[in-house]
Amino acid sequence: MSAETGIVLAPGARTAHTAPPDIAIVALDRVRPRSRAVAVGCFDGVHRGHRRVVDGCDTVLTFDPHPLAVLRPEAAPLLLTDRADQARRLAASGVREIVIVPFDAAWAAMPAAEFVDLVLVDLLRARLVSVGANFRFGAFGHGSGATLAADPRFTTRVTPLVTAGADTVSSSRIRALVTAGNVRQAAHLLGEPHVQPALRRGADLRFASGLAVPRTGEYSVLVDGVPSRWRAGGSGDRDTGDTHASSGDLVEVTFLSRITD
């Protein structure tokens, strides 16, 4: 199979991934009042470090779009998971609710103390807040795990960064491995193979331009569970236009190993 990139799935379009039925995805302004154990973060990829952060939490509070897409659009990352696959991985870790913050300039400017008061205490009624060691929030990133730990209204858990051999497990490291073609090491840090939805048109696979996929080389993959080979195109074939997927079969591509450059 050859590669094409550049599609952007239309908002709300069905992808190859389907969110599991045992997890709710709700907007922040639609949450129901109840006591919660809340993990806060982006959780792109739901890697081995993320799983420690969400352990024991019934709710994940995350952001859409990724905060860097608002704060530094030129540095907006390619995503390791679409929303449905993120939900699947979080559900497998015991999470039963994903609450979405519609991140924009107003949210970016919100002081850390206001975020704690309005979101964590008033809306989510958090009894436990779990974050990673490098988590920052609030205007200018002034809020941290230490900020949360100083608040007596809930218990705070700050999870240390996880390492795997010489690698620190992080979404940015995994993205770098995926785009460089080292999908085996990416899977090691993720805790499972890297998977992305794609549009199949004949022998071609097209991936949404905002998703992290290898840039060059030939790979052993599963396409909807069926073994296959896939050749990525060059780095110049990633189009950032707004072409919407309109025809073809939506499939799930699992990246197993790199065969050739």
Token match 């709700």: residue?
Answer: 26
Residue that the structure tokens 């896939």 belong to:
230
* CA atoms within 13 A of residue 180's CA, in its CB half-sphere: 10
Average pLDDT over all residues of the chain = 89
pLDDT at 21: 78
Residue range 214-225, pLDDT digits in tens? 999 999 999 999
Query: Region 160-176: what's the mean pLDDT?
Result: 95
Structure tokens, 44: 């792109």
pLDDT for 1: 63
Q: How confident is the model at residue 246 (pLDDT cuts 50, 70, 90)?
A: low
CATH 3.40.50.620 correct for 24-163: yes
pLDDT band for 28, please (50, 70, 90 cuts): very high
Residues 6+ apart with CB under 8 A from 157: 128, 129, 130, 131
Q: Which residue has the higher pLDDT, 4 or 80?
A: 80
Does position 19 have pLDDT exceeding 80, yes or no?
no
User: What's the mean pLDDT in 67-84?
Assistant: 95
pTM over 0.85: yes
Beta strand spans in the chain (E): 2-7, 24-27, 36-40, 59-64, 97-102, 126-132, 155-159, 163-164, 167-168, 194-201, 204-208, 217-223, 226-232, 249-260
* Per-residue pLDDT at 152 exceeds 90: yes
Average pLDDT of the residues in 31-35: 96
| Neighbouring C-beta atoms of residue 224, cutoff 10 Å | 14
Alpha-carbon distance of 61 to 255, in angstroms, equals: 28
Euclidean distance between CA atoms 211 and 209, whole angstroms: 6
Q: Which of 149-163, 182-196, 234-248 has the lowest mean pLDDT?
A: 234-248
Residue 47 burial (10 A CB sphere; 0-12, 13-18, 19+): buried
Numbered ranges of CATH 3.40.50.620 in the chain: 24-163
pLDDT at 248: 82
pLDDT cut 90: percent of the chain above it = 82
Q: What is the mean pLDDT of residues 110-138?
A: 97
